[in-house]
Structure 1
Amino acid sequence: MKIAFFSDIHANLPALQAVLDDIDQQKPDAVYCLGDLVGYNIWPDEVTEEIRKRHIPTLAGNYDEGIGLHSDDCGCAYKDDVEKANGAVSIAFTNQKVTEKTRTYLRSLPRHLSIEFKFADRNLELLMVHGSPRKINEYLFEDRPEKSLMRILEDSAADILLFGHTHKPFHRKLSNTLEEKEAERHAINIGSVGKPKDGDPRACYLIMEFDTRLETTDPEAIRVTFRRVEYDIEKAAVAVEKSELPNAYAKALREGK
């Protein structure tokens, strides 16, 4: 089985279109979106409509939730006063731009989605969230202590936890004793389609493949591939510069920061 997961489009339509084209070429059995469709660029309605017309199961991101509730707070953790001021411009711009159809859709999105697989003699629980199982806007970074990360997975009963929000992809395997065998749990940040922050400006999404004879003690049973997709970054950056949005967002797109 092959599944595609993507997240954090942030109103970047050229990036989304490129990723969806790449996903189509991969021919996955299913596709899921982990949220943050809007914010920071000029195409919130177009991005949302593209997701809707493809009937892609989608979570609410913290930005989606803010816009859905017509709030002036996206739940973002800005580092300084400049970022905070730019963020205020972005959410005000997005609130003014979106249609009520988009706002209603964003307000209806769930916070969590889970899939239960049954392979061989055991079940496998896959949980999708935007930030973390505890909070929609909690940041789970790659350097989080293993004990803390494992506790989050155990508390949510997840063998595989998929999330976004930080815009920095990673895959960590966590050892877990299961029936006297060393099994693995997986914590996976799927990166960002429309606003990468890991120094690579290309759009990012995840392909996950499961062996039909799945055993979590087998390291080859679950295969994870981060796909980086070229798109028209300049089109997205210039769109920001021609709008009321801060030019800092155009610079970030060009640099992947």
Structure 2
Amino acid sequence: MRIAAIADVHGNALALEAVVAHIRASAPDLIVNLGDLVSGPFDPARSADMQIALDCPTIAGNHERQLLAGDTGFSDAFARPHLTSAHLDWIASLPGTLELAGGEVFACHGSPAGGDLEYLLEDVSSGRPTLDTADAIGTRLAGIGKASLVLCAHTHIPRIATSGGVLVVNPGSVGMPGYRDTTPVAHVMEAGSPHARYAIIDRLARGWAVGLHAVPYDFEAAARQAEQAGRDAVAYSVRTGRMPPA
């Protein structure tokens, strides 16, 4: 079984187009979309159309919840007027988590135990992400049933880790390689390069094999979209994979 995992498109249709083309060459059995689909200063409507057309298992991230709730944060407020009622109906239909492959795979946006805003693998108390302890990660894995593979997102940082015999894979962000946040403390997330990220996971006789992929695309065109929306910091991250100095 071969699974392609994508996450955190954030409305970046140019990045998504490149990733989907790269994925198709790998001929996966399944594509899984881990949420934060359209909220971002790029092309929300086209990215929504593309993700709907994938017709793949898709979960809602925190931005889907916030978008539907009328959140006034910039990314959600920017996306909302670009979306049709059909787009919003699709978003409203999405579950928060999924069990796949007969329960062998659990998909979530944040963490299984803590919801769509909790980082599963990272400790950000220093202001930058570091891999958390296996015990801390294990606590956040409560509720995955018999799954041996957990797919998560939210941090935009590609990472693979294990805890208690469970493999956890974060494919990174398709469309937004960096951001700043203030919850749970002020911190910055940076992928380190502007590439669009995704993962391929293969079921082998001895367990799961994982490939983290970084795909080039027209970074400059996406950065200009962000600038036209008034989001210079996002444009900087799309060009560099890092955030501008605070």
TM-score by length of 1: 0.80
The answer on 1:234 being equivalent to 2:220 is yes
**Contact persistence 1:3–1:31 (CA under 8 A):** yes
- 2:148 matched to which residue of 1? 159
- 1:126 matched to which residue of 2? 105
Which region of structure 1 is more displaced relative to structure 2, 21-30 or 35-44?
35-44
Amino acid at match of 1:32: V
RMSD: 1.6
| Distance 1:246-1:154 versus aligned 2 partners, 3 A rule | closer
Amino acid at match of 2:139: R
- 2:198 matched to which residue of 1? 205
The correspondence of residues 1-257 of structure 1 with structure 2, limited to 5 A, is 1-72=1-72, 88-117=73-102, 125-133=104-112, 134-140=114-120, 141=122, 143-157=131-145, 158-174=147-163, 176=164, 184-196=165-177, 197-211=190-204, 214=205, 218=206, 221-243=207-229, 245-257=230-242
* Distance in 1, Cα, partners of 2:216 & 2:81: 30
| Distance 1:69-1:100 versus aligned 2 partners, 3 A rule | farther
Amino acid at match of 2:235: A
- 1:121 matched to which residue of 2? none
| Distance 1:42-1:159 versus aligned 2 partners, 3 A rule | same
* Distance in 2, Cα, partners of 1:65 & 1:154: 22
Which region of structure 1 is more displaced relative to structure 2, 185-194 or 136-145?
136-145
- 2:126 matched to which residue of 1? none
* Distance in 1, Cα, partners of 2:82 & 2:216: 27
Secondary structure of the 1:35 match is coil
How many residues in Structure 1 have an aligned counterpart in Structure 2? 220
Unaligned 5+ residue runs, structure 2?
Answer: 123-129, 178-189
1:173 deviates by: 2.2
Secondary structure of the 2:214 match is strand
Secondary structure of the 2:175 match is coil
TM-score by length of 2: 0.84
* Distance in 1, Cα, partners of 2:7 & 2:75: 19
Secondary structure of the 1:166 match is coil
Amino acid at match of 2:117: N
Runs of 4+ in 1 over 3 A off after TM superposition: none
* Distance in 2, Cα, partners of 1:150 & 1:225: 23
**Contact persistence 2:41–2:231 (CA under 8 A):** no
* Distance in 2, Cα, partners of 1:46 & 1:63: 17
* Distance in 1, Cα, partners of 2:60 & 2:71: 14
1:154 deviates by: 4.6
**Contact persistence 2:199–2:211 (CA under 8 A):** yes
Unaligned 5+ residue runs, structure 1?
Answer: 73-87, 118-123, 177-183
* Distance in 2, Cα, partners of 1:132 & 1:200: 25
| Distance 1:38-1:116 versus aligned 2 partners, 3 A rule | same
* Distance in 2, Cα, partners of 1:116 & 1:54: 18
**Contact persistence 2:18–2:217 (CA under 8 A):** yes
Secondary structure of the 2:141 match is helix
| Deviation readout 1:101-160 (Å, 9 max, x if unpaired) | 21221111110111245xxxxxx6210000111211112215212101122225433321
